[in-house]
Every structure is written in C-alpha cells, then in structure tokens.
Amino acid sequence: MGALVTGLGQKLAAGTAALALAAAGMTPLPAQEQGTSTPQGGFVFKANSDLVLTNVVARDAKTGEPVKGLKQSDFKVYENGKEQRIATFDFESVEMATPLKEATVSGLAAGPTGNKAVAVAKPEELRNHRLIVMFFDLTSMQPEDLERSVEAAQTFLKTKMEAADLVALVSLGDTLTVDQDFTADKEALINEVGAYNGTEGQGFAQGANANTNQVEDTTAYTPDESEYNDLNTDRELFALRSIAQSLAKINEKKSLLYFSGGISRDGIENEASLRATINDAVRADLAIYSVDTRGLQAVGPMGDASTGSLRGQGAFNGGSLMNNMNSNFATQEVMATLSSDTGGKSFFDSNDFAPAFAQVQRDNSAYYALGFHSTNPARDGKYRKLTVKVLRPGIKLEYRPGYYAPADFRHSGKEDREQELQDQLASDLPATDIAVYMDALYFRLDANRYYMPVSLVVPGAQIPFVKGGDKDKATLDIIGAVIDEAKRPVGRVRDTVKLNLDASEQARQKNIQYTTSFNLPPGKYEIKFVVRENQTGSMGSFIANVTLPDLKKAPLKMSSIVLASQRTPSKKQDPLVRNGEAYVPNISHVFRRDQHMYLLYEVYDPAHEKAAENGAKGAKAGIDLMSSLELMQGSTKVYETPMVQARAINEEGRDAVAFELDVPLSELKPGTYLCQLNVIDDAAGSFSFPRFAVLVRPSGAPAAAPAVTAPAPAQTASGGAE
C-alpha cells in the first residue's frame, strides 16, 4: 500500500524553521511559531471551542480485557466535581476496522522512500484504526541507545504490527523531519527506521546523553551546562508541540512513542514550554508514551569510564552516588510528566522496549469517545480536573485526568486589558505567542537580604514595530510576581515600556532587554513574568524557580556571576553598577569576537590575615583574595586572564569585595568554550571554581547581547509580604 497522507508532513514544515534555528550553532533565542494554521476538516480542539473530548478505556476489573457494549447512559462525566452533560458519544475498536482502499494518487507527500505513489485517506476511512507516531529524538541518544530503539521498532513492525495499525515516523536531528507519513506499508516503515542507524553526523545534545548522570564529585565542582540544557529542552518540547498541532485535525485518538535519551532541565528552566506542549497534546487527543532508550543503568558511586577519577570523599560518604541518582532521575522527570498528563505511560530502566509497543496497542484497541460542553464559561486558562464514572460494577476506567481551559485575548477597553494581564499572570496555562527569556541573579545586601536583578529578553523580530516618522515604535506591557514557598506574593512588578527607537538601531534584528529587581530574604521562590505587545495583543510568559542561598555556613561566600557584553552609564547605586557603569547581563552567554566579555561578581566576608609582630597581637590586617578566569576547549586551556588580587574591602557597607574582569575576545577563535572562574581566599584556605559555557561567534555575526535596552521601572520592586 502506498504512503497514507494525513497532513502530518505538511503541517510540520511550519515548525521546522524554528527547530532549525535552535540547532544551528546553539542560537540562544530560538523563534517560536507564530500561531497555527487552521486545519481543514475533522474535529479541532481550538481555544474558541467549548467542546471537550476525552477518550475512555473500559476494562474488566478482574481480567483487564476491554469491555464492549456500553451505552452513553452508562457514563457520567464530572469537571472539577460538577457533572457535565455528555453531548457526543462514540465507540471505536480495531476489530471493526475496514481495509483502506487505494485512493487516487495525489503526490501530496512524496516521502524519502522514493517516488512511491501516495494515497490520501478520507477522515471516515481512519475510523477504528490505530494511529501511531514513532518519534526518535536523535539529538539525545548515544549510538548504542539508538541501535537498541531501532531494533525494537523493527521487531514490532515485522512481528506485531496489525492490519489496523497506521504508523508514521518522525525524527529530530538538525531539523524536525517527517521521514514517513502514516502508512500500513511495513516494508517502507522498516526501511525508514533502519536509516536512523547512520546518525553520526547528527551530534548529541550537550548534557543530554547516556552519561548525563555521571558527575565527578559533590565535594568539588561540577560543570554547569544549564544554559545548553535549557535550550535543548525547549527545542525538544517545541518539536513535540509541532507534532501535536499537526495532528489536531484528525478526529481519532493518536499515540506517540517518544524515544529519547532523557531531557535535562534545572530549577530555573522555563516551565511555559512544558505546559504548552502538554496542552497542545491534550487538544490534539495525542497520548505520549515515553521510552528512555538508555535502558537499565547501573549508577555507581565511582561513576564510569565516561568521567575522570573522583576527588575528595564523595565516593565513600554516599554524596557522589546520591548526586548521580538525582541527576538520572531529573533527566526522566520531564518525560514522565509528558506521559502522565497526556494519558500515556512512561517506560524507564528496562532494556526491553517491547512493553511500550504492546501498551500502545492495548490502550488503543477499543475505547469510548465522550464529548461535552463545559458549563464553566470562564476562559481563564486554569487546569480543570476530569472524573469519569461508569454505572456498571466491575469495570475499571482509564482516561486523561484533565485539561486546560482556553485563554482568549480580548480586544477591549483599558480595564479589560488590565484584567487580562492579571488573569494571565494567575493562569496555570502559559502564554507562548511571543518568546520570552528570563534570568535571575543575586547579590547579598546584608546577612538576611539579597538584591535579585531579573532580566527579560524578547526578540525584536517578534515585536510588530510601527513607523512613526524616522522612529520605530512599540509598546510592551510587563507584569510579574515573586511567590514564596507558602504561595504568598512577596514582590510584584507592573510596567508599561514605550519603545521609540531610531530606525538605524535596527531593533527588529536585535533583542529587547528589560531589567528590574527585588529585595528578598534567603529562600526558594517562583518567579513568573508576562509580556504583552500592544499592537496585536500577543503575549508570552516565563516561569522560573529561584533559590537565594543562605551563605552563613558557606566556606567561600559568592554572589552570582554576571556576564555582559555591554556596560551603560548609570547613576543608580546597586551591585550591578560599578564606577558609574551598569552591567547589562548577557542571558544566553553568546558573544562576538569583536566584543569584550565583562565579568562581575562579589565575595562576602573574606577572611583577614593576622597581624604579625606589630605590637597588636591578634589584630586584623588585610585580606588575601585572588581570582582569574580560564577558557578551555576540550581538555586544552586556550586562554587565561592575569591573576587579580584583592587586599581590601571595596564595598564597605556590605563587607564585600567586587571583582571585575575584562576579557577581549578578538584573540579567540569562534567556537564553544568552557570557562572556569578561580576564586581563592588564601587567608581562609577556601576556594571555589564555578564553571559555565560561552559561545564565541565570528565578528559581525548576530550575538545574544541586547543592542536595545528597555528602560527599567522608576521604582525598584522590593519584596515584602502583601
């Protein structure tokens, strides 16, 4: 049978551009899709539709076999505990599937299998069929993991694929690619899956591979790869969103087998992408079945041959083993969330992938489709819990646990628009119309207070500037809140930024950066910001978890490390301003060779040397702090700054020593560098060696440093219980 085209390949083309940007040399600010095209035909779960569809699998509580013959009157559906009237009811079973007839050749999706004729299926022909998408994330898998997943897929296709199964193949490498649209042609599928074995040129995501769970030692330092992990996680989630959106027009239930070597994310990674991906999958009636292709792993305290030998006592006191296990679990957490929240299942810590294929077939062999119109008209974007009950005894139900309500943008008066911003800030469903990126730093003000600058970046290409004479004009509404562990708001920002820029600044080719700040005590916080541009009303949001540490017991007390490519004149008095110049944080750590990389960081309460033989026994003398920066590629050190020594406090009111480093990048070749900052308190015998990655691009190439900085609010936002 020829390839069965359902529109998957055509729709994914729209998402490929965004994914390709993220793959090309670690672009720091990948563009997000701007809206989605309206699918033609079939059921569409759109934001302005009040029909909620959920699929229910009914099984005999004793045997586990599907229960058939139930009627609409046998079910009751509840939303947040309130009963809903079932508006649509249907039963689908693979036993009732009819063979697909050869349709007229249209050539709409000539795939990589050659010039084989393709057939376009009508919506009614897909009824009672199982629609399965196999998604191979090539960027996260090591060769042995890929080999294992390919063999499992080919075995399924050869021996377990049934006549009612229609399978599509999608892969994420340099771009998101539809390698085979839905088809029942086993031979074509087997050949396409086999092509994945030759992926040496794809490259693997930094920090997302089979060795992610191996670290050197919790008592020494661990390379900080969070910048790239965040980027790769967003890229993988964007791919899943594109697949879900492309399948939204197909009425039947769909399943996606997600083969991945794990997704790494840290505490400040953007939650918006994950929630938006889950919401799009729920709307598309797509259940995600996650398979960790690393299989069964032995996590040992000594690591393995992929890492260097351990230092300190971590291998003997349990610290290294605990860190390794936590790292491994963290790479599976996103995959588990995707599966549980979309009605699928996750398969971890097993070298046998066959149960994943069997579970997909089992869950989709027979199910009831229930639809209802919600009695709650609010479009608040909040999560609504679904409960389905059956009036017959001895039956166990399986169904999706809930969905996010739609959140529409209304073009209305000033008061309504303000309320919409407040609603979006409180909404559990993030806005993703425009890309928003955020970074939070911290500097100690006193023993129990921190200054926390927060920077937001919006790509200028996503802001619809309007011409006003020789100026480019736009208005941004910004609202944000900081929530403490008790779920109390302890800081708020509400600002309107009017951009009035010279056309020569080329704002559309640069990034718009906005910076505000909070004064907060040590603790854990959730920060959420919403940005709306007021030309079309598009909004974007960013959610992050931030920890302000208690440094009282730290051997060497340090602030965050600020990386910047710009310093601007400023009359403010805060830790980001030195000698009348404010450091503009570079969020993505991407620079050009014709720029300088400026570093700013502080050390608190440094130890004092003892006065010697000066008649003042025990009196404090000076301090002895030293610091330098090393840049490495692989195991080779390619650059080191001169050692900077501090002998006195230079921030008297805060008992701090502020270090400033200026690294000219013209001597470096373009590429990725691992930077190690050396900070040594020689008087106390303590030290710290934090690491971070930077990307240096050729001169004249686009860099992440913002060329246009939006004005900050007149008053710095301060934390305090409201």
> Looking at domain 413-550+709-722, what is its CATH homologous superfamily?
Immunoglobulins (2.60.40.10)
- Which H/E stretch holds residue 180? strand 176-183
319-342 vs 226-246: helix crossing angle, rounded to 10: 20
Residue written as tokens 């989630």? 237
Domain 589-703 has CATH 2.60.40.10: yes
CB contact set of 578 (below 8 Å; sequence gap of 6+): 600, 658, 660
Looking at per-residue pLDDT, the higher value among 110 and 520 belongs to: 520
Percent of the chain with pLDDT over 70: 73
**Number of other CB atoms surrounding residue 642 within 10 Å:** 8
DSSP bridge pairs for 495: 478
Checking if the pLDDT of 574 tops 80, the result is yes
Contact 601, 560 (CB under 8 A): yes
For 72, what's the count of Cα atoms within 13 Å in the CB-facing half-sphere?
11
Token code pair at residue 159? 């021996």
* Window from 145-149, 322-326, 379-383 with minimum mean pLDDT: 322-326
Q: What integer is the mean pLDDT of 457-463?
A: 89
Checking if the pLDDT of 414 tops 50, the result is yes
The pLDDT tens digits for 575-586 are 999 999 999 999
Architecture of domain 3-404: 3-Layer(aba) Sandwich (3.40)
Distance, CA of 513 to CA of 711 (rounded, Å): 9
* Window from 167-176, 275-284, 301-310, 542-551 with minimum mean pLDDT: 301-310
CB contact set of 548 (below 8 Å; sequence gap of 6+): 442, 450, 452, 520, 521, 522, 523, 524, 525
Contact 621, 610 (CB under 8 A): yes
* Window from 52-66, 212-226, 344-358 with minimum mean pLDDT: 212-226
- 76 falls in which pLDDT band (50, 70, 90)? very high
The pLDDT tens digits for 698-717 are 987 655 444 455 555 433 33
Q: Which of 337, 189, 196, 314 is nearest to 263 (CA)?
A: 337
> What is each CA distance from 360 to 69, 248, 356, in whole angstroms?
22, 19, 6
So where are the chain's domains? 3-404, 413-550+709-722, 589-703
- 115 falls in which pLDDT band (50, 70, 90)? very low
Q: What is the structure's pLDDT at 582?
A: 94
Best-predicted range by mean pLDDT (145-149, 179-183, 407-411, 499-503) = 145-149
Looking at per-residue pLDDT, the higher value among 79 and 212 belongs to: 79
Checking if the pLDDT of 614 tops 70, the result is no
Token code pair at residue 338? 């995707």
Looking at per-residue pLDDT, the higher value among 510 and 414 belongs to: 510
b/e map of 699-719 (b: 16 or more CB within 10 Å)?
Answer: eeeebbbbbebbebbeeebeb
589-703 has the same fold as 413-550+709-722: yes
Distance, CA of 164 to CA of 584 (rounded, Å): 58
- 124 falls in which pLDDT band (50, 70, 90)? low
Distance, CA of 56 to CA of 54 (rounded, Å): 7
Q: What is the structure's pLDDT at 156?
A: 94
Residue written as tokens 């398979």? 291
> What is each CA distance from 484 to 376, 458, 523, 525, in whole angstroms?
30, 26, 8, 5
Checking if the pLDDT of 52 tops 50, the result is yes
Checking if the pLDDT of 201 tops 70, the result is no
Evaluated on CA atoms 457, 461, 463, 468, the torsion sign reads: positive
Distance, CA of 297 to CA of 101 (rounded, Å): 46
The pLDDT tens digits for 467-478 are 877 788 889 999
- Regarding pTM above 0.75, the answer is no
Q: What's the whole-number average pLDDT of the chain?
A: 78
CB contact set of 69 (below 8 Å; sequence gap of 6+): none
Residue 234 identity (one-letter amino acid): D
Q: What is the structure's pLDDT at 597?
A: 96
Pairing of strands 437-440, 466-468: unpaired
Token code pair at residue 116? 């084989």
What phi, psi does 236 have (nearest 5°)? -65, -40
Checking if the pLDDT of 665 tops 60, the result is yes
Q: Which of 173, 132, 134, 137 is nearest to 293 (CA)?
A: 137
Contact 46, 60 (CB under 8 A): no
Contact 560, 443 (CB under 8 A): yes
Using the 8-state DSSP alphabet, how is residue 669 labeled? Answer: P
Contact 284, 55 (CB under 8 A): no
- 33 falls in which pLDDT band (50, 70, 90)? very low
Pairing of strands 671-681, 691-697: antiparallel
Checking if the pLDDT of 647 tops 50, the result is yes
The pLDDT tens digits for 182-194 are 888 888 889 899 8
Checking if the pLDDT of 150 tops 60, the result is yes
Percent of the chain with pLDDT over 90: 40
Q: What integer is the mean pLDDT of 395-402?
A: 90
Checking if the pLDDT of 425 tops 60, the result is yes
Q: Which of 94, 144, 90, 104 is nearest to 5 (CA)?
A: 104
- 29 falls in which pLDDT band (50, 70, 90)? very low
Q: What is the structure's pLDDT at 116?
A: 44
Residue 501 identity (one-letter amino acid): L
Distance, CA of 667 to CA of 222 (rounded, Å): 27
Evaluated on CA atoms 648, 654, 655, 659, the torsion sign reads: negative
Checking if the pLDDT of 505 tops 70, the result is yes
The pLDDT tens digits for 545-571 are 999 999 988 899 999 999 999 999 988
Q: How many helices (H) and strands (E) in the chain?
A: 9, 41
